[in-house]
Amino acid sequence: MNSRSNITPSERRKWQKFVRDLLVERRRFTKNVWLSHFRRLVKNVTAQADILISIGAERGPDALDPREMLIWAWTVLMAKPPEDAQFYLRIPEEGPGGLKELADELRDRRYVFDKLDTALECQMRWLGALVRAIDADLAGILSPSGSITNSAEDWEMEGYPCYIVPIRRGYRKGNGKDRARRAMLYHAILPRQIGDLAVELAFVPDVEITEEPRRWTYGAPIFEGATVDVEHVGADGFRVADAPLADEEGCVAGHVRSALDGQCDALVWPELTVPKDRLALIRAELRRDPLRDPRRIAITVAGSRHVEVGGKWFNRAEILFGKGQPLASYDKRRTFEVEGRFERIDPGEKMLVLVTEDRLIGVAICKDFCDDVDNDAYRSLSLDLLLVPSMGKVSTIDAHLRHAKALQSQQGTVSFVVQQVDVLTGTTRDAKEPLGYSFASPGGSGTASSRNSRQSERFRLHTARR
């Protein structure tokens, strides 16, 4: 037997492969293959019922970690073929036959329901109740506000390609919502790898937690008179060496002041508009007068810049928190082309997720999000919010809008995009053209388009619920 539990090594390896197939390889399962995993889960739950009933009590050295059972149950629920998963949508949250009542009943019955081998509806009711029961019983045992700071090591399970993130998202529950959105209220299971990309987590401290849905306010600063110094690289490449700007200090100070006055929760500058010196200005403005002005912005994405690191070039966004403290960085994964020249950078090798106590926040740079190739990666992260600095034309913002609407429909994710109009070609902007584009989708009206995303002012506020 395995020293950690009475689950055999071969059984654990089967579960680890199943989890990897779903989360990393994003494999889809036939009904027969899914049913074989479902039956194994029922068998394991029956054998480990005492562990589930006593979650929170002191465990022996060989006892199963209940988080491992949560991974199994959640993975089986997520792997159900879509044509059969509709039964989950019919399960209400409250009242007779609701998920809360079913979870209580499941505990009372030692985690056993009838007709699990034949009735699809019973299978989905049992799975939904099992995930909710373990999720709720584990709540508070592993908390980001406790001993964990910005390290994700405590959220890993040995041998599994995923994190179990403690996060309170009770606002995601609701009748008729898909399993991916409301399966768990106190945890999120995220892949540690998607294809060849590592998934990196960074915990954001001091962000207000709310059990009910509330609107965040987003700040969209755009530079008027923006220019860039383009450096040709080889026969068909380019990089941005600098982004000169008249009255740079006044412009940055105005942006930050507007964000603080607007009580912004998140602030995003556009792609390739924040060289190193401007980043220092942004940080200085964010931390100015901390005693006289205690206001702070939870998360700031300080645009991006081309930067050399260890002989490689990246399009890198710096993420700040609070009074301008550095939190993490993110490197763009997909390059773009301008007038026959391609952005000469090395692609980033990670997906970044910022973790607050009540939401998961992704970061992308321009084409990472608007490209139609493999855009499914963001759907694998169960995001509440996606922050996107961008640069481009109206066709770029149209692509952002298309993907934002799909992500909102499928996952309930808010996408906040701030795009500087393309200044890489060196052409003079027509006075009728906007400075750029920005939107938070879904916004107050629940809709967004390239027309109402046009931004002609230096700073604009947006609001969106979750």
Q: What is the pLDDT of residue 2?
A: 38
Instruction: For residue 245, give the 3-state DSSP assignment.
Output: coil
Residue ranges of the chain that CATH labels 3.60.110.10:
215-465
Q: Which two tokens stand for residue 7?
A: 């689950």
Return the exposure string of 429-459: e unless at least 16 CB atoms fall within 10 Å of the residue's CB, then b.
eeeeebbbbbbbbbbeeeebebeebbbeebb
Residues 6+ apart with CB under 8 A from 151: 203
Q: What is the pLDDT of residue 447?
A: 60
* The CATH number of domain 215-465, selected from 3.40.250.10, 3.60.110.10, 1.10.150.110, 3.40.50.460: 3.60.110.10
How big is the chain, counted in residues?
Answer: 466
Q: What is the pLDDT of residue 84?
A: 86
Return the exposure string of 148-186: e unless at least 16 CB atoms fall within 10 Å of the residue's CB, then b.
beeebeebebeebbbbbbbbbbebbbeeeebbbbbbbbb
In 3D, which of 207, 134, 153 has the Cα closest to residue 360? Answer: 207
Report how far apart, in Å, the C-alpha atoms of 59 and of each of 56, 65, 100, 247 are.
8, 8, 26, 63
Query: Do the strands 341-343 and 237-242 form a parallel or antiparallel pair, or are they unpaired?
Result: parallel
Q: What is the pLDDT of residue 3?
A: 37
In 3D, which of 177, 79, 191 has the Cα closest to residue 127? Answer: 79
Q: Which two tokens stand for residue 348?
A: 């980033």
Q: What is the pLDDT of residue 146?
A: 44
DSSP structure class, residue 428: P
Q: Cα(374)–Cα(389) distance, rounded to whole angstroms?
A: 19
Q: What is the pLDDT of residue 426?
A: 67
Q: In this structure, is the dihedral angle defined by the CA atoms of residues 407, 408, 409 and 410, taken in order, positive or negative?
A: positive
Q: What is the pLDDT of residue 197?
A: 93
DSSP structure class, residue 156: B
Q: What is the pLDDT of residue 293?
A: 63
Q: What is the pLDDT of residue 169?
A: 86
Q: What is the pLDDT of residue 202?
A: 94
Instruction: For residue 286, give the 3-state DSSP assignment.
Output: helix
Q: What is the pLDDT of residue 1?
A: 35
Q: Cα(389)–Cα(270) distance, rounded to whole angstroms?
A: 4
pLDDT tens for the chain, 466 residues long, are: 333 457 899 999 999 999 999 998 889 999 999 999 999 999 999 999 998 998 877 777 777 889 999 999 999 999 999 888 888 888 999 999 999 999 999 999 999 888 787 788 899 999 999 999 999 999 867 554 444 444 688 899 999 999 999 988 887 888 777 788 889 999 999 999 998 999 999 999 878 776 666 789 999 999 999 999 999 999 999 999 999 999 999 999 999 999 999 999 999 999 999 999 999 999 999 998 665 566 789 999 999 999 999 999 999 999 999 999 999 999 999 999 888 899 999 999 999 999 998 899 999 999 999 986 666 789 889 899 999 999 999 999 999 999 999 998 888 899 999 999 988 876 666 777 899 999 998 654 456 677 889 999 999 999 997 6
Place of tokens 């773009």: 336
Q: Cα(312)–Cα(369) distance, rounded to whole angstroms?
A: 23
